[in-house]
Each structure stands twice: as structure tokens, then as C-alpha cells.
A and B are shown apart, each in its own frame.
Chain A
Amino acid sequence: EAGVAQSPRYKIIEKRQSVAFWCNPISGHATLYWYQQILGQGPKLLIQFQNNGVVDDSQLPKDRFSAERLKGVDSTLKIQPAKLEDSAVYLCASSPGLVITATNTGELFFGEGSRLTVL
């Protein structure tokens, strides 16, 4: 079974430029997450999709970050314009469970991440 695929693995940009990250979850997984992991910190949830709908985007800085999952499969996270403090690893994860069902085990399957450096 193929894992969660992310690209690019590394990206270096200057502040005020834009960047986009792509994620393809495990086939059949209904729920997709984007996390931001700043060096020395744990992953922080940015946005969560169930199929192609947004479940939680309360911690997404909407003035510069956007994300979509149009067909309920792969997803794109965009940052425009980037700031120095956006330097981080952006992790995509997927889960087979639906958000509100009791059978959601909470087990997330993570990709290798996309490392962003903003200069």
C-alpha cells in the first residue's frame, strides 16, 4: 500500500514570495490533515478536511495561507506572501476514519513532509 506522498521535499524562497505544497493521501482515506512543525516544536494542526469539506481551519492564518481538496483526494496548501516565521516542515497526514464516528481511532498516517525555508 502506497503511503502519503508529498512534494516538494524542500523549498527555499524569499519573504513575500509564494509557495505551494501538494499532498496525495493513502487511497480511500476520507480525512486529510495539514500540520506545521516548527523546529523544536511538535506538529500544529493547520487545517483538516473530511472528503472535500473543511472540518477545522481555526488555526490557519487565513490572510496568507489557503488550502483546498477539491475532489476529496489530493490537496494543496499555499502560502502567499510568505514570512520568515513560516519556515517549518509542512506535514500532510491522512486517516481512514470519518471525523465524528466513534470508530475513528485517531491513528494518522504521515508523509515525509515538505521543508520550507524563507529567507
Chain B
Amino acid sequence: GNSVTQMEGPVTLSEEAFLTINCTYTATGYPSLFWYVQYPGEGLQLLLKATKADDKGSNKGFEATYRKETTSFHLEKGSVQVSDSAVYFCALKGYSTLTFGKGTMLLVSP
């Protein structure tokens, strides 16, 4: 079946540091891939997505590239801000819905 594996958190960074959150997946075929973010006290919201191999999704300074050869979709940001503190979920779309990873908490200090 489909599955998503994310690096364990929390990831603790200082403001303006470089961020990488690793995500790998197992799936049949070529699923669409997503990163969702959950800010404190809020619901999950879509951050970015990629629908085919070598696509790069980007939003709010975050990027992730769909790598078919390594079955990965790592999330990166060049310079994090305190407001980026949240839980980040990698997900893949199967036939009809999403399968999520366990989430990675990011804590950014001033």
C-alpha cells in the first residue's frame, strides 16, 4: 500500500537558517505529492504540490522537487522565519484520497 516517511522532529533552527525536511514515499504508479502545514491552533492547509516527476512545487519561499528516482519530495527553504514554526506533513494522493506522513515539527527561534 501507499506510505509516506518523514524525518522525525522537532527541527529547531535559528531565524534565517536553511531548512530541509526529508520525505520519501512508497506507492504504485506515479502519485501526486503534497506538503501541508499546520500552524498552531489552525487546520491543515496546502503549502505546495507537484503532480509529476521533476516538477517543482513552490509557495511562500518553500520548494520541493518530485524525484522519481529516489522516491523523494524533500521540503526546503533558504531562510526560515519565526512565523514558519508549525508542523509540516508530506502526503501523496492515491486513487481517491491522501496518505499522510507523521508530520515534522519546526521550531524557529529569533
Contacts and interface: CB of A to CB of B under 8 A. Distances in A.
Given A56-B97, A99-B96, A100-B96, A42 B4 contact: yes
Given A48-B96, A55-B96, A106-B93, A41 B43 contact: no
The A contact surface, by secondary structure, is loop
Contacts of A48: 96-97
The B contact surface, by secondary structure, is strand
B44 A106 contact: no
Contacts of A42: 4, 89, 91, 100-103
Interface string B89-110: 1010100111111110000000
Nearest to B32: A106
Contact of A43 (B32, B34, B49, B100): B100
Given A42-B89, A99-B96, A112-B41, A106 B49 contact: yes
B17 interface: no
A106 B41 contact: no
A2 B42 CA distance: 15
Contacts of A105: 32, 49
Contacts of B41: 112
**Which interface class (under 10, 10 to 19, 20 to 34, 35 or more) fits B?**
20 to 34
Interface residues of A, number: 26
B21 to A, nearest CB: 13
Contacts of A45: 97-99
A99 B49 CA distance: 18
Contacts of B102: 40-42
B34, B42, B43, B100: most-surrounded residue (chain A CB, <10 A): B43
Contacts of A100: 96
B27 interface: no
A40 B97 CA distance: 21
B46 interface: yes
